[in-house]
Structure 1
Amino acid sequence: MIRVAIVDDERLLRSGLQLMIDAAADLEVVASCSGVDALRQIAETRPHLVLLDIRMPEIDGLTILRELRGWEDPPVVAMLTTFQTDELIAEALRSGARGYLLKDVDPPDLTAAVRSLVSGQSTLAPAVARTVIDGYLRRADETEAVRMVDRLSPREREILRLIAEGLSNAEIGNRLYLSSSTVKDHVSAVLNKLDVNNRVQAAVLAHRARLVEDS
């Protein structure tokens, strides 16, 4: 039997999850509690898997997760939550969670995820997987943008920042006390080094590289 512990501050949710899990012939809920009793009950029942709410009033799930990861033979932990922000997912995965499931998971998906997690695989809810992928692509875009902006000289970076703020060549010249022809030359150099076709594309790169604050 695969032993499962459910840690959540909502008793009704715990009951529903227990019904779904206990309905499977090879799964058994051995502990069901709020965060304040979690470590004691997990230590007493030694489940294979802990389904752990990430936000609870007495003690948050990430704190419990970090404590469990310090045990000599820790259980597998999957976060079970309604929250799917980049920060929470990243922090949970960095802290040792092997899965991240949403509370509206269907019963067959839940029991399949339990078996998969205990067998050594990682499991992310589809919506969470999309968040992780989108976050990865966004960070990749930022990294590439930073690399490209690093090609520029200090003066060219300043020109790019002002382009991204929406200033015209004349306004840039007034701001930096440069002639229009000099600004034009700098702008051309910026576009060439960034390998973009126009000021809008340059401005997008500047924002991705966090050269300017998003507005």
Structure 2
Amino acid sequence: MSLSSQHSTGRVAVAVVEDDPHFRLFLESMLEASPRHRLVATAGSAVEALAWDPAVVTPHVLLVDVGLPDRSGAELVGELLARHEQALGLMLTAETDAAVVLQAVQSGANGYVLKGGREEDLLAAIDDALAGGAPMSPGIARKVLGLMRGGPTRKPEDARLAILTDRERDILERVAEGAVDKEIGDALGLSRSTVKNALLVIYQKWRVRSRTEAAVVFTRLREGNS
């Protein structure tokens, strides 16, 4: 693991989790050469990334490889986003497995970046995510939408529920009942910060702005699919 200075430069701070040393070096060189971005941390495994101190490593964007040797990147990104609450997550992959993509989205990832692309495309994906977009190649997007539809008997509303994790559904159930973060945390055995972060992830997934709006959408979708 390597860390760079955290001094403010006005550039986008990026942390990288990539086990392939050659591709990791490519990413490091690309970010260090960019006038708009800066590299703040690198890791070659999930263990190294989870050892980052959130008080020291404060990225705006996390680039996380899907195929790590010690952990699924789709699972890891959720843990990293919980620890680095100010960050957005982008997955790095050479594959287009829709199930893995959907798992990463359910964990809070904001998009997918295919390896082998041009430097400008990778940097543009980072900027797109920060601007509120969800960068994803057309091929991957089609596969994910197909998986979310799940066949002809699936209702259209199911797509929004499908991208929620079980924990996020449990939290929304209690939000819809009027529970506050502390009550939700006590009921589910979670810290208030974990509940708060989960809600922020839900807002990003559904493009809503408040817990009230999320509760209304959840109630409508749940009743429509009951």
Q: For residue 16 of structure 1, what is the amino acid of its counterpart?
A: F
Indicate conservation of the 8 Å contact 2:75/2:104, yes or no: no
Q: 2:123 aligns with which of 111, 134, 138?
A: 111
Q: CA deviation at 1:8?
A: 0.8
Please give the alpha-carbon distance, in whole angstroms, between the structure 2 residues aligned to 1:48 and 1:59.
Answer: 22
In structure 1, the residue matched to 2:44 is: 34
Pick one of 23, 28, 33 that aligns with 2:33: 23
Q: 1:72 to 1:56 in 2, by over 3 A?
A: closer
Q: Distance in 2 between matches of 1:81 and 1:62?
A: 10
Distance 1:58 1:72 in 2: 20
Question: Aligned partners of 1:72, 1:108: CA distance in 2, in Å?
Answer: 26
Structure possessing the higher radius of gyration over alpha carbons: 1
Greater share of helix: 1
Kept in 1, the 8 Å contact 2:110–2:129? The answer is yes
**TM-score, length-scaled by structure 1:** 0.60
Among residues 51, 57, 61, which one is paired with 1:45 in the alignment? 57
Percent of pairs with identical residues: 29
CA contact (8 A) 1:4 1:28 kept: yes
The answer to whether the aligner puts 1:60 opposite 2:72 as a matched pair is yes
Which residue is equivalent to 2:202?
none
- Write the distance in 2 (CA, Å) between the matches of 1:108 and 1:114: 10
Unaligned runs of 5+ in 2: 1-10, 156-226
State the TM-score, normalizing by the size of structure 2.
Answer: 0.57
Q: Report the equivalent of 2:106.
A: 94
The reply to whether residue 3 of structure 1 matches residue 32 of structure 2 is no
User: Secondary structure, in 3 states, of the residue corresponding to 1:29?
Assistant: strand
Partner Cα distance (1:72, 1:106) in 2 = 28
**1:66–1:95 CA contact under 8 A, matched in 2:** yes
Which consecutive aligned stretches of 4+ in structure 1 deviate over 4 angstroms post-superposition? Answer: none
Deviation at 1:13, TM superposition (A): 0.5
| Helix, strand or coil at the partner of 2:124 | helix
Give the counterpart of 1:71 among 45, 66, 83: 83
User: Tell me, which stretches of 5 or more residues in structure 1 are unaligned?
Assistant: 145-215
Compute the RMSD of aligned alpha carbons: 2.0
**Aligned-partner residue type, residue 88 of structure 1:** V
SS of residue paired to 1:143: coil
Q: Deviation at 1:23?
A: 2.3
